[in-house]
Structure 1
């Protein structure tokens, strides 16, 4: 019995045991009791997580994969969550406990998984995952880079991001058309912003929607005062600003509105 990869779910099953073991070793397993694997498929990564010093849960939307896991990993049966991670809330399973996230993520929802993690960051001190390589690189990109953007700034505002290693298409069934990249996110000790969070998200997203323009032009829709726009920071393009500079910019916009 095996599970057929479903294109509409973006499934590419990892078949390389060494890579699976290496991904499992990416997490530190310190400071939390639970691990949540997203999209375990046939459990190639799961078997290595079960050996770690933490209780493994998996969340899987594919009913065929759930049946496979129950048949081949009976010890896991009570820890299988048959839900869509993007709609799921952790309190029903973990209450207020901390847990890490790990997985070989479907490319088509990988960015949404990151944004959901940011929403749940109070519960998630660590996150390790496999993405399309260019997405993993974008999340970890630094200011000044052409690929530094919304995902980079919003993720790095709350987590330290580290690109770990590259994975070739040949280790998947079916093989994707591009390389994959594994990254590790480690939550910052101070993961609450010192500015209005909703405004911060809006400023970052609005700025990068017209990334080639200066902030003076890209943030026009925020109706900023001429006095504020005279600040030299508005002569820069969004890719030039660090996370902290975006936080300071948001604070300045908050003050401008009062």
Structure 2
């Protein structure tokens, strides 16, 4: 990877397999014709190379915190209309950058902020139609997991409330520089038709988070911090653990708590 040195503090592992790069980009463009695409952590441009010449794209933004990477990409794409931003994705203002356009996000995401990236997506869910990202397999499994599985957790419920999620494929360590110590996974998020949940969304998020923070306990014990009224404490659903509830179950539970305030 001439010109850019991967930096451990930024969680960088540069993909060096062209076939896998092709499959990641296809994971987005095979299912949609996006107007605007934001690539997070482009590194040396292995994914970017496959998108810069797509004529249907109104806007392609490459965003990285690594100044060395940004300088490399600006030199690589001289004369191109690609927008290269030295910026922190977690602080990105989508409205300022993309106006009214809907947005798709793609990337070999920095491993040290992968969960934070998806919480940022959640905060901007009504702007972000698709996400195709490569992250640690453990995190990818968690996000795509369904109720009843030990990997099912906070991100699973919150993301699946607003997105249809597919686990696309697994990527081994040896195709990166430097190789990570774990396998990676590529997942795809597609915004569903839920504009708003049928409950208080702030309370829903709190119920999910508190339920999973003490996931070995029943919800009756895990949700004690909510100071639930006795009429709710006695509900049968609170005999279950958080991992046993689907997204719809969490919505229903939140509605029950609202109704007994």
Same fold (TM over 0.5): yes
Aligned mates of 1:170, 1:94 — CA distance in 2: 36
Normalised to the residue count of structure 2, the TM-score between the two structures is 0.95
5+ residue gaps, structure 2 = none
Q: Residue 28 of structure 2 corresponds to which residue in structure 1?
A: 27
Q: 178, 182, 198: which is aligned to 1:178?
A: 182
Structure 1's consecutive aligned runs of 4 or more residues displaced over 3 angstroms after TM superposition are 75-78
What are the superposed Cα offsets for residues 161-181 of structure 1, whole Å, 9 maximum, x if unpaired?
Answer: 100000000110000010000
Residue range with higher mean Cα deviation, 33-42 or 248-257 = 248-257
Superposition deviation, residue 228 in structure 1: 1.2
Matching of residues 73-84 of structure 1 within 5 Å: 73-76=77-80, 79-84=83-88
Secondary structure in 2 matching 1:26: helix
Q: 1:4 aligned to 2:8?
A: no
Say if 1:69 and 1:77, in contact at 8 Å, map to a contact too.
Answer: no
Superposition deviation, residue 230 in structure 1: 1.5
Say if 1:57 and 1:76, in contact at 8 Å, map to a contact too.
Answer: no
Q: CA 1:149/1:13 → structure 2, altered by over 3 Å: closer, same or farther?
A: same
Aligned mates of 2:6, 2:50 — CA distance in 1: 21
Q: CA 1:38/1:117 → structure 2, altered by over 3 Å: closer, same or farther?
A: same
What are the superposed Cα offsets for residues 91-123 of structure 1, whole Å, 9 maximum, x if unpaired?
Answer: 112112101000001111000000000101111
Q: CA 1:75/1:248 → structure 2, altered by over 3 Å: closer, same or farther?
A: farther
Q: Residue 143 of structure 1 corresponds to which residue in structure 2?
A: 147
Say if 2:64 and 2:85, in contact at 8 Å, map to a contact too.
Answer: yes
Q: 1:89 aligned to 2:114?
A: no
Aligned mates of 1:117, 1:27 — CA distance in 2: 16
Residue range with higher mean Cα deviation, 105-114 or 30-39 = 30-39
Q: CA 1:75/1:165 → structure 2, altered by over 3 Å: closer, same or farther?
A: farther
What are the superposed Cα offsets for residues 8-63 of structure 1, whole Å, 9 maximum, x if unpaired?
Answer: 10100001111101100001463641110001011001011224432321111111
Aligned mates of 2:14, 2:250 — CA distance in 1: 38
Q: 246, 250, 257: which is aligned to 2:250?
A: 246
Aligned mates of 1:182, 1:109 — CA distance in 2: 16
Normalised to the residue count of structure 1, the TM-score between the two structures is 0.96
Superposition deviation, residue 78 in structure 1: 5.2
Superposition deviation, residue 225 in structure 1: 1.2
Q: CA 1:70/1:20 → structure 2, altered by over 3 Å: closer, same or farther?
A: same
Q: Residue 112 of structure 2 corresponds to which residue in structure 1?
A: 108
Count of residues in Structure 1 that have an aligned counterpart in Structure 2: 257
Residue range with higher mean Cα deviation, 48-57 or 130-139 = 48-57
Residue range with higher mean Cα deviation, 180-189 or 48-57 = 48-57
Q: Residue 189 of structure 1 corresponds to which residue in structure 2?
A: 193
